Structure 1
Amino acid sequence: MSTPGLSTRLRHLAHWAMALCLAVMSMAVFVNVVLRYGFGDGLPASEELSRLLFVWMVFIGAAAAYPAGEHMAFTSLVGLLRGRALALMTVLIRLLVLLACTLLGAGAWQQVVVGLDSRSVVLAYPVALLPLPALLCAVCIGLCALVELLRRTPLDLGHGAEVE
Structure 2
Amino acid sequence: MAKVTLTVNGRTVSGECEDRTLLVHFIREKLGLTGTHVGCDTTQCGACVVHMDGKSIKSCSILAVQASGSSITTIEGLSSGGELHPVQAAFKEHHGLQCGFCTPGMVMTALDMICRHNGALDEATVRHELEGNICRCTGYHNIVKAVLSANEAMTAGRQAAE
Q: Which structure has the bigger radius of gyration?
A: 1
Q: Which has the higher strand share?
A: 2
TM-score (norm 2): 0.28
What TM-score does the superposition give when structure 1 sets the normalisation length? 0.28
Q: Which has the higher helix share?
A: 1
